[in-house]
Chains A and B, each alone.
Chain A
Amino acid sequence: MSVNKSTNKFQEILKNDSATLSFTDHIKEKYKVGWVNPSPCMEACPAGVNVKSYISLIAAGKFHDALKVVRERNPLPGICGRICTHPCETSCNRNEIDEPVAICWLKRFIADYELKHPMPKPEKIAGKRREKIAVIGSGPAGLTTAHDLALLGYKVTIFEELSEPGGMLIAGIPSYRMPRDILKVEIDYIKDLGVEIKTNSRIKGKNAVEGLIQKGFNAVFIAIGAHQGKKLNVPGEEDFVGFLDAVTFLRGVNFDKPKKPGDKVIVIGGGNSAIDAARTAIRLNCEDVNIVYRRTRNEMPANDAEIEEAENEGVNIHYLAAPVKIIGINGKVTGMECVKMELGVPDESGRRRPIPIKGSEYVIDADVIIPAISQEPDLTFLPASHKLNISKWNTFVANESTMETNIPGVFAGGDAVTGPNTVIDAISQGHIAAESIDRFINGISQQRVQHPTRKFETEIACNLKTLPKTKRAEMPMEKVESRTTSFDEVEFGFDEAQAIAEAQRCLRCGPCDECYTCVPECDKGLAILANDEGDCLLRYPPNFPIHENQNEILQGELKSTGKGTIKFQVNPIVPTVKEKLCRGCGDCVKVCEYGACELVQIGDEVFVSRINPDICRGCGTCVAFCPSSAIQPGHFTSNWLEFKLQNIKPKTKNVVVFSCNWNGSTFDLNTGKTNVIYINAMCTGRIETSFILKALELGADGVLITGCSTEECHYEFGATKFIETYDKTKKLADMLGIADKKIGYEQIPSADTYKFIESVKGFIKQL
Chain B
Amino acid sequence: MAPTGQRRSGYSRRAQYNLFTGYIIAGIGALIGAVLLLLSFFQPHLFGGLRGAATDGVSPATETSATVRTGSKSIWDSISGYYRAGSKNAELKREMEIARIRLAEAQAVEQENLRLKALLGLREEDVEPVAVTRLVGSTASSTRRFAYVGAGSDQGVEVGMPIRSPRGVVGRVLETGSESARILLLTDTESVLPVRRARDEVVAFAEGRGDGLLRIRLINLGINPLEKGDLFVTSGAGGYYRPGAAVAILVEKTDDGGLARMVSDPAATDFVSIDPIFEPEAALAVDTPTETELSD
Q: Do A and B come from one complex?
A: no
Interface, chain B (partner A; CB < 8 A): none
